C-alpha cells in the first residue's frame, strides 16, 4: 500500500513546504493538495452553502508547481481540481508543465465541482448536479485525449477543440488521471473508462461497496479492474487514551479512523481488504503544523509499517 499526506490549503506556504519536505524525508509516498478558492461553511440544515467566507486559501496549482520545483521524490497530486475552474485545455497545459517541473511525479486529480460559495461569489457557473456531471464527462474525455494523444479534436455540448496540441508533452508516458467522486452510475463509470486512479472519502464498508461497482463498470467496458488504482481518505484520530479518542472523533465531520495505533492498524487492514491501494491522511488544519507532522510520524511508524512494500508506479 501507499501512504500520502494532504496539507490544508489554509496553511501558510511556509508550513505547507515544511510538511512536504518532512514527508519526503520520512518515507511518505505522496503529497496531495485541494483545489478551492475559499473556505466552505459548516454542513447542516441551518447553514448557507452560498455564503462567501473569509480565510486565506492558497491556489492549488501554484502550490503544486512550487512543490514540484522544491521538494524531491514524492508524488504530487490535486485532490481534486474542479473542472469548473479551468478549461480542460488550460488544465492539461498546466498539468504537463508541472509534470515537467517535477520530473514526472504528478497525479492529475479532477472532479465535477461541489462547493457552492466559491462559485457563487466569483460568478463561476456550477449548475445542477446533472449539468455538473455532463460538463465533467466532457472534460474527462478532453483531458484524457490532450494528455495522451498528439492532437485532439472534440465536439461536445460544452467544449469544442480543433486539432489541438498539448506541448510540451508530460514527462510520464501516461500521466495518471485521478477521478474523484462516488456517484455509482456516472462518476464510477467515467473512472472505469478513463482513470488511472479513483478516489473517495470512505469507511472500509463504503469503500468495499463502491469498489464492487467500479469493478463491475470496468468489466462491462472490457477493462482490467487492476488498471484503476483506488485511494481513499478519512480523518485520523489516534491515541491510546480511549476517552480522548471518543471526544475528538465526535467532533469530526465525515469518515474517521479513530482508536489506538493497534485499532487503526486493524482499520487500515480493512481498507486494504476493501480494495484500497493508497491511504491519504488529511490535515486537521486547526492544529499547529508540527502536531500534524507528529501525527503522521506516529501513523507511519506504528501503522503504515505493517503495510508498506515496494509498489509499482502508477
Residue 310 has pLDDT above 80, yes or no: no
Where do the domains of the chain lie?
Answer: 2-306
Q: How many CB atoms lie within 10 A of CB 244?
A: 12
Q: What is the pLDDT of residue 120?
A: 97
For 166, the 3-state DSSP assignment is coil
Average pLDDT over residues 188-217: 98
- Give the model confidence (pLDDT) of 45-95 as tens digits: 778 999 999 999 999 999 999 999 999 999 999 999 999 999 999 999 999
Q: List phi, psi (to 5°) of 263.
A: -70, -40
Q: What is the pLDDT of residue 173?
A: 96
Residue 312 has pLDDT above 80, yes or no: no
Residues of the chain with pLDDT > 70: what percent? Answer: 98
Residues of the chain with pLDDT > 90: what percent? Answer: 94
pTM higher than 0.85 for the full model? yes
pLDDT band with cut points at 50, 70 and 90 for residue 170: very high
Say yes or no: domain 2-306 is CATH 3.20.20.30.
Answer: yes
> Long-range pairs for 59-62 at CB < 8 Å and ≥24 separation?
59/35, 60/9, 60/33, 60/34, 60/35, 60/36, 61/35, 61/94, 61/98
- Cα-Cα-Cα-Cα dihedral sign, residues 279, 282, 287, 290: positive
Query: Could you give the CA distance from residue 263 to residue 58 in angstroms, rounded to a whole number?
Result: 34
Q: What is the pLDDT of residue 46?
A: 77
Amino acid at each position: 500500500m501507499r501512504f500520502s499526506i494532504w496539507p490544508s490549503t489554509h496553511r501558510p506556504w511556509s508550513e505547507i513546504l515544511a510538511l512536504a519536505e518532512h514527508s519526503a524525508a520520512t518515507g511518505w509516498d505522496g503529497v496531495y493538495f485541494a483545489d478551492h478558492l475559499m473556505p466552505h461553511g459548516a454542513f447542516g440544515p441551518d447553514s448557507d452553502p452560498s455564503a462567501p467566507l473569509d480565510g486565506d486559501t492558497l491556489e492549488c496549482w501554484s502550490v503544486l508547481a512550487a512543490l514540484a520545483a522544491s521538494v524531491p521524490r514524492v508524488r504530487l497530486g490535486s485532490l481534486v481540481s474542479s473542472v469548473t475552474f479551468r478549461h480542460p485545455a488550460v488544465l492539461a497545459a498546466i498539468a504537463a508543465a508541472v509534470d515537467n517541473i517535477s520530473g514526472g511525479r504528478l497525479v492529475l486529480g479532477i472532479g465535477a465541482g461541489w462547493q457552492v460559495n466559491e462559485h457563487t461569489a466569483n460568478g463561476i457557473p456550477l449548475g445542477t448536479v446533472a449539468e455538473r456531471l455532463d460538463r465533467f464527462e466532457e472534460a474527462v474525455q478532453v483531458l484524457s485525449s490532450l494528455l495522451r494523444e498528439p492532437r485532439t479534436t472534440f465536439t461536445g455540448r460544452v467544449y469544442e477543440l480543433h486539432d489541438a496540441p498539448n506541448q510540451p508533452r508530460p514527462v510520464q508516458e501516461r500521466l495518471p488521471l485521478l477521478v474523484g467522486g462516488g456517484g455509482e452510475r456516472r462518476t464510477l463509470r467515467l473512472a472505469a473508462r478513463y482513470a488511472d486512479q479513483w478516489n473517495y472519502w470512505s469507511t472500509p464498508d463504503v469503500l468495499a461497496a463502491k469498489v464492487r461497482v467500479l469493478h463491475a463498470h470496468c468489466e462491462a467496458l472490457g477493462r482490467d479492474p487492476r488498471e484503476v488504482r483506488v485511494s481513499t481518505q478519512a480523518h485520523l484520530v489516534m491515541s491510546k487514551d480511549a476517552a480522548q479518542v471518543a471526544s475528538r472523533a465526535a467532533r469530526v465531520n465525515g469518515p474517521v479512523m479513530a482508536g489506538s495505533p493497534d485499532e487503526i492498524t486493524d482499520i487500515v487492514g480493512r481498507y486494504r481488504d476493501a480494495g484500497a491501494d493508497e491511504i491519504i491522511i488529511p490535515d486537521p488544519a486547526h492544529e499547529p503544523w508540527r502536531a500534524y507532522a507528529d501525527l503522521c510520524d506516529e501513523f507511519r511508524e506504528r501503522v503504515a509499517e505493517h503495510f508498506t512494500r515496494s509498489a509499482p508506479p502508477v
